Structure 1
Amino acid sequence: MAEHVQRRMRMYGNITNPRKEGVLGLSALASIIGVVVAILVFVTMPLGIWVQSFVVIVGAATMIGISWDGRNGRKKFEEVLGRRHFKKAEGKGFTNYAAGPTSQLPGGDFPPVGILARTELVGTTPAGSRTEKAMIWNPSNRTGTVIFSVQSPGMGLLDQESIDLMVDQWGIFQREAGVSSSLVQVAATTQATRDPGNRLPDAVRVTREQSQVADTPAFAREAMDEIVADLNQGVPKIDQWVAATFTARPNREAGTGPRSREDLAEDISTLLPGMLAQLKVACGGTVSVLGMDDVVDQVHTAYNPAVAPAVETARLAGEGTGLTWGEVGPTNAKLTPGWWEHAGYFSKSWQMYQPPAANFRETGLAGLLSAHGVFEQKRVTLLFRPMSPGGSQKAVQDQVMNAQFGNSQKGKKPSQIKKVALEKAEYSEREQAEGAAMVRFGLVVTATVDDPTKFARVEAILRDQAVSGIQLRLRDCEYSDDAAFAFGLGIGSVPKDFTRLSNTLRESV
Structure 2
Amino acid sequence: MAENRVRTYGNWRKPSSPGIGKLGLGGSIFVMVGLGIVTLTMMVSTIAAIVMAVVLMIAIAPLIMRDPHGRNGLQWLGSRIAWFRGMTLGQHIYRSGPVGRLPVSTSRLPGLLAGMTVLNSVDGHGQPFALVSHPTANHHTVVLNCSADGASLVDQHQMDVWVAYWGRWLANLAYEPRLVSAAVTIETAPDSGERLRREVLGNVDMSAPPLALEVLKQVMFDYPVGSAEITSRIALTYSSAGESRAHRTPEELAAEIGIRLPALAGSLAMTGAGPADPLTVDDLAHLVRVAYDPGVGVLSEQARGEGSPPLRWEEAGPMATQEAWDHYRHDGAHSITWAMTEAPRGEVFSTVLSRLVAPHPDIVRKRVTLLYRPHTPAESAKLVERDRKDAMFRAQQSRVAQARDSVDLRSADQSAREEATGAGLVRFGLLVTATVMKAEDMRLAAAAIDNLAATSRIRLRRAYGAQSSSFAAALPLGLVLGDHMRVPQSVRNSV
Between 1:153-162 and 1:294-303, the stretch displaced more is 153-162
What is the aligned partner in structure 2 of residue 218 from structure 1?
Answer: 210
* Identity %, equivalent residues: 28
Name the CA shift for 1:193/1:434 in 2 (closer, same or farther; >3 Å).
same
Aligned to 2:444: 457
Q: Distance in 1 between matches of 2:487 and 2:247?
A: 26
Partner secondary structure for residue 467 of structure 1: helix
Q: Does 2:143 align with 1:134?
A: no
- Any unmatched runs of 5+ in structure 2? none
Is 1:475 paired with 2:461? Answer: yes
Give the stretch that moved more between structures: 51-60 or 321-330: 51-60
Deviation at 1:97, TM superposition (A): 0.8
How far apart, CA to CA, are the structure 1 residues paired with 2:422 and 2:103? 51
Q: How many residues align?
A: 495
CA change 1:294–1:484 in 2 (3 A) is same
Could you say which residue in structure 2 is the equivalent of 1:503?
Answer: 489
Residue 205 of structure 1: how far off its partner (Å): 4.0
> What one-letter code is carried by the residue in structure 2 that aligns with 1:488?
A
* Mean CA deviation greater in 32-41 or 421-430: 32-41
Asked whether the 8 Å contact 1:11–1:360 carries over to 2, the reply is yes
Distance 1:284 1:203, change over 3 A: closer
Q: For 1:63 and 1:266, locate their aligned partners in 2 and report how far apart those are by CA, in whole Å.
A: 52
DSSP 3-state at the match of 1:347: strand
Structure 2 matches for 1:269-288, cutoff 5 A? 269-288=258-277
Q: Unaligned regions of 5+ residues in structure 1, if any?
A: none
Equivalence map 1:170-189=2 (5 Å): 170-189=166-185
Determine if the alignment matches structure 1 residue 487 to structure 2 residue 473: yes
2-side partners of 1:26 and 1:73: how far apart?
Answer: 12
TM-score, normalising length: structure 1: 0.93
Q: Tell me, yes or no, if structure 1 residue 361 matches structure 2 residue 361.
A: no
1:295-346 C-alpha deviation (Å, 9 max, x unpaired): 11111111111110011122334x1452110011000010111211111211
> Deviation of residue 499 (structure 1)?
2.6
TM-score (norm 2): 0.95
Shift in Å, 1:110: 0.6
Q: Which shifted more, 10-19 or 203-212?
A: 203-212
Structure 2 CA distance, aligned partners of 1:321 and 1:22? 59
* Matched AA of 1:116: L
Query: Per the alignment, do residues 473 and 413 of structure 1 end up closer, same or farther by CA in structure 2, a change over 3 Å counting?
Result: same
Q: Secondary structure at the match of 1:153?
A: coil
Secondary structure of the 2:450 match is helix
How far apart, in 1, do the equivalents of 2:308 and 2:356 lie? 32
1:75 to 72, 76, 97: 72
CA distance in 1, matches of 2:50, 2:5: 63
SS in structure 2 of the partner of residue 47 of structure 1: coil
CA contact (8 A) 1:149 1:287 kept: yes
CA contact (8 A) 1:194 1:375 kept: no
Structure 2 distance, partners of 1:484, 1:298, is 17
What is the Cα deviation at residue 128 of structure 1?
2.6
Whether the aligned pair in 2 keeps the contact of 1:181 and 1:251 (CA below 8 Å) is: no
Q: Are 2:317 and 1:329 equivalent residues in the alignment?
A: yes
Root-mean-square deviation (CA, aligned residues, Å) is 1.9
What is the rounded CA distance, in whole Å, between the counterparts of 1:208 and 1:371 in structure 2?
25
- What does 1:339-358 correspond to in 2, within 5 Å? 339-358=327-346
Counterpart residue number, 2:361 = 373
Structure 1 counterpart of 2:198, which letter? V
The alignment status of 1:113 with 2:110, answered yes or no, reads yes
* 421, 434, 439: which one aligns with 1:447: 434
Further displaced range: 92-101 or 275-284: 275-284
